[in-house]
Amino acid sequence: MQIIEGIYQLLTPFPQFTTEDAKALRRDLEEHPRVTKGLPYVLPYMIKSGGDTILVDCGWNTDSAYLALEEGMKEHGSHPTEIQKLVVTHVHPDHYGMAGRLKQLSSCEIVLHEKDAEVITARYFAPRGLTDDMSKFMEHNGVPALASPGMSMGSMGMLANVSPVPADTQVKGSETFKVGDFDFEIIWTPGHSPGHICLYEPNRKILLTGDHVLPTITPNVSIHTQTHGSPLGDYMRSLEILEDLDVEIVLPAHEFHIKDLKKRLREIEHHHELRLDEMVTCVDSGGSTAWEVAGRVKWATGSLADFEPWMQRAAVGETLAHMEYLFETGRVAKVVRGKHLYWLPV
């Protein structure tokens, strides 16, 4: 789909969806914007101008995703072999999964933020230690042993659909680069991922938001074995960075167009404020683990005990991100007793 001349929105399906189903849903959402369940597709963007061709994000490394990308590029007179640069908004498999395959085809330059580039080896090339770390991490946060084995396996199954490749260029944010007539600026927006970046074109007032700002979904902001500091604090600050930008076209990596960026930023901030208030009330006066807090808060998808193991893991990670932010802002305290980390009211 042409957004404006030179910027094209492509679509690659998630492994469990067909390209046809994903495309039909995309078209339907264009006419009837609404909340949908799950993520059926990723929206890569091709920027083609003045003889330059770059791609922003790609998709999972499946044959159907590759064919969908090839078909999408062909519709706009291009082909994956012509990609000169692949800018990855963050290293999650739905955005980065096909990077190695595209690199082989086109020898394109792979561009990533340094904070995400540094986890490629631990996450994709040599991921063995991760499950051990994860079980210790789960125990530390009060997850009972019975629930833990399935949870610590986490997302190891997805590795089959990732073709990893190291970054050629690592950015820090605020770098600029040209694609024909377009001048892009890289904006570092950590939170959903430590090295998440958005791309801003100030002359055309276009913002590519990756997973940082999506129309109906609030992106998962989570603490796990590879996070440091306060991801939710980072995320809230990264929302503020976008508030002052002059933007007319907002292009997210999932769902559909965002009409009003400022309104959406306020909605997401409000969502987290309510969530933070709720989590404070779920902390016992004697202290609670993240697992206990996660068992008390309301989840849109049901109760923690009924979740699949990977969803329980995501729920504990999300709870922790909120607890850490509450700690950072002086609303809770924390203490380690024996093997467990407890959160306390202040």
Compute the chain's Rg from CA coordinates.
20
CB of 271 to Zn ion, least distance (A): 17
Residues in binding contact with Zn ion, number by CB under 5 A: 3
b/e sequence 117-140, b meaning 16+ C-beta within 10 Å: bbbbeebbeebeebeeebbebbbe
Task: Spell out, one character per residue from 190 to 229, where the chain touches Zn ion: x when CB under 5 A holds, - when not.
Answer: ---------------------x------------------
Nearer to Zn ion, 92 or 204 (CB): 92
CB of 90 to Zn ion, least distance (A): 6
Task: Spell out, one character per residue from 68 to 97, where the chain touches Zn ion: x when CB under 5 A holds, - when not.
Answer: ------------------------x-x---
The dihedrals phi and psi of 149, each to the nearest 5 degrees, come to -55, -50
- Look at residues 47, 41, 43 and name the one whose alpha carbon lies nearest to residue 4: 47
CB of 219 to Zn ion, least distance (A): 6
DSSP annotation of 122 reads: I
Q: Rounded to whole angstroms, how far apart are CA atoms 91 and 124?
A: 10
Nearer to Zn ion, 196 or 275 (CB): 196
Q: Residues 31, 24: contact at Cβ < 8 Å?
A: no
Q: Residues 120, 88: contact at Cβ < 8 Å?
A: no
CB of 97 to Zn ion, least distance (A): 10
318 near Zn ion, judged by CB under 5 A: no
Nearer to Zn ion, 3 or 39 (CB): 39
Question: Which residues have a Cβ under 8 Å from the Cβ of 284 and sit 6 or more positions away?
Answer: 292
CB of 42 to Zn ion, least distance (A): 6
In the bound state, the residue with its beta carbon closest to Zn ion is 92
CB of 60 to Zn ion, least distance (A): 10
Query: Which residue is listed with tokens 């199954």?
Result: 157
CB of 221 to Zn ion, least distance (A): 10
Residues in the chain, total: 346
Nearer to Zn ion, 94 or 116 (CB): 94
| H helical segments located in the chain | 19-31, 63-75, 93-96, 99-106, 114-117, 120, 129-140, 148-153, 231-243, 261-281, 290-296, 309-328
Q: Which residues bind Zn ion (CB under 5 A)?
A: 92, 94, 211
